[in-house]
Structure 1
């Protein structure tokens, strides 16, 4: 167990063995890693634990640099545990490099079927009992997909929780994958139009980039193919507070003059690579639609819902937009089968992803009856017109969870927890304690 110090903090590494399939506790074991963070000078204090669940799916926990971001506030009151959810970070990894050891695509898909919120919550319970004992309870902070996991935790293991704090992560309890994306595309369009209203010169600049990509093959530094559709995927950043500005600066540096004429610059392509490649979090792409699968909502597979529903929104056709002189709309948190052809990090997982898309009868992730009887103090920040999570769904879920208090705000976007310097977390703590 390694212990080391950063400015203002003491950090301890923990590794836990958990069952791959919690229905078979004596079967195959995998590892999950967690990083304990406590304020310097409080190492021996009896502080309450705060478990943090990261957004995603497929996102590893934050790598702190001392008392930074929301930890600035959390470490005043808590001993924090940053969990690398199964398959991510220092937990047993699930990537194109490791998954072939499981066998063929069918074996890989069976393995990854155990990587949803229900398994993550059961991992958390193993960790809780190891650190706090059977009777110990901890606080929970869930960001985005981590908030989805928090609702699963409240549904199936509320006895392990003393309070729950959620930011940008109240899912629709009865929303299918199709419902999610049918609501998402209009939100994504609004974020696009707001961007172009802020930076009207980007309309022509983006159209020129799309023309360029349509006329020739362009390869990214990592070997991926940059198609017009792949370029549209950089719009994922529009859901963050600074995303529109970041997108503008990316676009303005797109072209450089070469002996063969204007070409997309190496600097531009390098930045795009960082936004569209899934080399750092392949589970985000592979498992993304599976997080919405629930037998009681739909027994069918998710079936590439984002791609199928996109056909209902022809305004997202980049080629048609250029031909008609309309602004090209970027996409957002949508995963498409062509990504598994253009991204080298995903290409070996193409068949596995297809099998997961066709997987039927996903177990339910939420227990509406139990949530209606909830006794765990809970508070949630709901970001007005959040690009990643439908606000109407979040409000409906808030009403369905007994005692859940909400703060609806347009002061921050989806990344409010990270960028607010602890203000979002402080507000939630005060809400759950009844101070507001």
Structure 2
């Protein structure tokens, strides 16, 4: 099928051009079938005919589609001052060929085949897709990249696999451990998540009693969310993922205040509360996040083996117990979620295979990173709940020329919340900091 021509349109002072091209499912296999890759190029209205440098936005995730121009973070308008911004839907997301319970159904009960398929949706494949897109848009000229969270992980993979494609790299909240196992990642993450629980309950001291009451109610009753599945205590605890960003830190408080009403059988959880919980804990819109959350750390022969689930045993504060205060978990994915979330149930077999896999390709080239020549600047958020500061700084020290800005003033979504974050990185890259 021929590549469709780009389609352009205008809105809100922006000129958007939609691009679609075919890329190999498996870049290492010449006989691989093709999948579709979608990207939206955005430029400020009135500058669409200027020869502005392109900036590729690499979204957080894994499994997150690129931001849409009408709802993008603060960084976009700042970036458009001097760039054409490319919003690429990473493979498996958005308008790129999806990878979800519907498309994976063709594998039936062949969980090995489904897992092999999902193993092709990590950062190494994303980078190779980006390189084909770059050449499609501008031949061999390098472009710059802004990697947020997992997009920063992908940026380190980009510097490892194809540094010739990059003019500059900007990273926000996304310097991964280069050699650590998933166990190291989650062991540090649980400690940080406990600290964020303490921050939350210090801000909203009345919420401890309310959260404990909700948990007790869920333990004693078969409570169903609007989609029909039961809301368990452990799934209720996953609402702590909201603690990691400034935009959502307070959202649990305003959800909890809607929790109870006086029903015909006594206190009952409201539809408003249950609908809000479902919206926050369901993986229906981002199944790849769940399926690949541990595999994004996997390299070599050591299996992840449901790392977050195993390491949790080292932190008994998260285990519900009578008389113990509820503590919410964060950016962790558990095997039981593939039983309780209808959007993940069909992926359970493949997820088990991925958790046991012991032949993962390397994501980072340590020697190439040590000899890096691409200018790289990174914002490291001092109290980031999702990405460990010490692991991030160790990685920064392993990449030649990488300069960091460590700040206590922003949460993980700093680049979305405040244009000054990207402005600071631009200044650093231009030697004006």
Fold shared per TM-score above 0.5: yes
Kept in 1, the 8 Å contact 2:73–2:416? The answer is: no
The answer as to 2:412 corresponding to 1:407 is: no
Q: 1:308: which partner in 2?
A: 310
Of 98, 109, 117, which residue of structure 1 is paired with 2:115?
109
Of 349, 356, 360, which residue of structure 1 is paired with 2:347?
349
Kept in 2, the 8 Å contact 1:142–1:150? The answer is: yes
Kept in 2, the 8 Å contact 1:8–1:66? The answer is: no
* Runs of 4 or more above 6 Å deviation: none
Of 187, 193, 197, which residue of structure 1 is paired with 2:202?
197
When residues 181 and 66 of structure 1 are mapped into structure 2, their CA distance, relative to the original with a 3 A threshold, is closer
Q: 1:287: which partner in 2?
A: 292
The answer as to 2:406 corresponding to 1:435 is: no
Kept in 1, the 8 Å contact 2:73–2:415? The answer is: no
Q: Deviations over 1:41-64 (max 9, x none)?
A: 111100000000000000000011
What's the C-alpha RMSD, in Å, of the aligned pairs?
1.1
Q: 1:395: which partner in 2?
A: 393
Of 116, 134, 137, which residue of structure 2 is paired with 1:131?
137
Counterparts of 1:359 and 1:68 in 2: how far apart (Å)?
Answer: 36
Counterparts of 2:144 and 2:314 in 1: how far apart (Å)?
Answer: 42
Counterparts of 2:189 and 2:235 in 1: how far apart (Å)?
Answer: 18
Q: 1:65: which partner in 2?
A: 70
Counterparts of 2:415 and 2:24 in 1: how far apart (Å)?
Answer: 31
Counterparts of 1:8 and 1:304 in 2: how far apart (Å)?
Answer: 46
- TM-superposed CA distance for 1:25, in Å, is 3.4
Kept in 1, the 8 Å contact 2:173–2:381? The answer is: yes
- TM-superposed CA distance for 1:69, in Å, is 2.2
Pairs within 5 Å for 1:202-217: 202-217=207-222
Counterparts of 1:44 and 1:222 in 2: how far apart (Å)?
Answer: 48
- TM-superposed CA distance for 1:93, in Å, is 0.3
Q: 1:265: which partner in 2?
A: 270
- TM-superposed CA distance for 1:102, in Å, is 3.7
The answer as to 2:180 corresponding to 1:175 is: yes
Counterparts of 1:3 and 1:69 in 2: how far apart (Å)?
Answer: 23
Counterparts of 2:71 and 2:213 in 1: how far apart (Å)?
Answer: 43
Kept in 1, the 8 Å contact 2:230–2:340? The answer is: yes
- TM-superposed CA distance for 1:66, in Å, is 7.8
What SS does structure 1 have at the residue aligned with 2:218?
helix
- TM-superposed CA distance for 1:328, in Å, is 1.0
Q: 1:330: which partner in 2?
A: 328
Kept in 2, the 8 Å contact 1:237–1:244? The answer is: yes
What SS does structure 2 have at the residue aligned with 1:35?
strand
What SS does structure 2 have at the residue aligned with 1:272?
helix
- TM-superposed CA distance for 1:24, in Å, is 1.5
Q: 2:3: which partner in 1?
A: none
When residues 242 and 52 of structure 1 are mapped into structure 2, their CA distance, relative to the original with a 3 A threshold, is closer
What SS does structure 2 have at the residue aligned with 1:426?
helix
Of 118, 124, 127, which residue of structure 2 is paired with 1:121?
127
More displaced, 135-144 or 240-249? 240-249
Counterparts of 1:286 and 1:341 in 2: how far apart (Å)?
Answer: 13
What SS does structure 2 have at the residue aligned with 1:311?
helix
Counterparts of 2:346 and 2:145 in 1: how far apart (Å)?
Answer: 35
Q: Deviations over 1:277-319 (max 9, x none)?
A: 0000000001110000011xxx12111000000011111012x
Counterparts of 1:386 and 1:221 in 2: how far apart (Å)?
Answer: 33
- TM-superposed CA distance for 1:107, in Å, is 1.4
Q: Deviations over 1:389-414 (max 9, x none)?
A: 11000011111111111111111100
Q: Which blocks of at least 5 consecutive residues in structure 2 are unaligned? A: 1-5
Kept in 1, the 8 Å contact 2:247–2:417? The answer is: no
Kept in 2, the 8 Å contact 1:256–1:263? The answer is: yes
Q: 1:78: which partner in 2?
A: 83
Q: Deviations over 1:195-245 (max 9, x none)?
A: 111111111100000000000111111222210000000100000114332
Counterparts of 1:25 and 1:405 in 2: how far apart (Å)?
Answer: 38
